[in-house]
Amino acid sequence: MTKSFVLPAFPKFERTYLRNLFFVTMTDYEKEIPVVVAFPRNIIHNSLSEVLHKAEMKQIRIAETEKYSCVTSFFSGMFEDKFGNEEFVLVPSKKVLSYNEVPEMSSNSIVKEVIKAIKSEKYDFIFANFANAESVSRTGDLKNTIKACEILDKHLGKIAEYVLAEDGVLFIVGDSGSAEEVFNIKTGTLDKQNSNNNVPFIIIQEKLFGVSGNVGDSPDDDLSLLPKSGVLGDVAPTILKVLGIDKPEEMTGKSLL
């Protein structure tokens, strides 16, 4: 729609080109359009992806359509282009009216791509996004949100086996605790919104077996009973510390190790 107003040549339908038009968009959603942006995109320099690139680590990022931007521009600090040593794998999301109809979503295909990447031994860093826990939780369907998490748990277990077999390290983290908070225990209602509920951050590595985090062990292996420790901004510094890479000054978080 914006293009129909601002481009001199527009082939989609007939319209009168308006000259001397001052056109403002809320965000810069496409390059090279003659508009003024009210809220320009905040480019983040020295994101985790960029730091890994500078360390000459080859990356592959895998996601389905629903969360593809999370492993591409978002993970790259809002840069649209590749830094140069990344590969992107897009797995099509299933075409359904609501994702609670298919709580597994495209996770079966994603785990296959992850295992293929591990076996290839071509990559130093593999980043995969599993969309089903959050996407199904947003439907407010508690039963199928639980099913989505059970499916995801099996997939992560399989990935962990392959990572450990290659003497690697696996980081598991969520960016939103909405799946854990579908049922609001305070109001007794279902919550479909994004949540600032705590999320787990789990590191799996052979040499870390038996080592507790900075808040100790969780009672009965229930992570929800652990006190809050750290913020999402601490994830990248922690990963860099494990990889033996210095944290750039732009990262204000701290390593949790």
Residue 35 neighbours by CB distance under 10 Å: 17
pLDDT at 175: 83
Write the Ramachandran bin of 51: left for phi over 0, alpha for psi from -120 to 50, otherwise beta. Answer: alpha
221 belongs to a structural domain: no
Same domain, 111 and 159: yes
Sign of the Cα torsion 140, 230, 55, 83 reads: positive
| Lowest mean pLDDT, pick from 7-16, 50-59, 112-121, 210-219 | 210-219
The count of domains in the chain is: 2
Same domain, 35 and 61: no
Give the pLDDT band (50/70/90) at residue 23: very high
Same domain, 133 and 192: yes
| Lowest mean pLDDT, pick from 36-45, 55-64, 109-118 | 36-45
Q: Of 154, 173, 170, nearest to 162 (Cα)?
A: 170
The parent domain of residue 14 ranges over 1-41
pLDDT at 18: 87
pLDDT at 184: 78
Same domain, 123 and 150: yes
Contact assessment for residue 137 and residue 178, using Cβ atoms and an 8 Å cutoff: yes
* Mean pLDDT in residue range 175-186: 82
75 belongs to a structural domain: yes
Q: Of 255, 252, 51, 87, nearest to 171 (Cα)?
A: 255
Same domain, 57 and 16: no
Does this model's pTM top 0.85? My answer is no
What rounded mean pLDDT belongs to the chain?
Answer: 90
227 belongs to a structural domain: no
Range picked from 41-45, 173-177, 190-194 for highest mean pLDDT:
173-177
pLDDT at 213: 72
pLDDT at 147: 97
What CATH number corresponds to the domain at position 186? Answer: 3.40.720.10
Same domain, 174 and 61: yes
Same domain, 57 and 2: no
pLDDT at 196: 79
pLDDT at 152: 96
76 belongs to a structural domain: yes
pLDDT digits (tens, 9 = 90+) for 41-84: 777 899 999 999 999 999 999 999 998 888 888 888 888 788 88
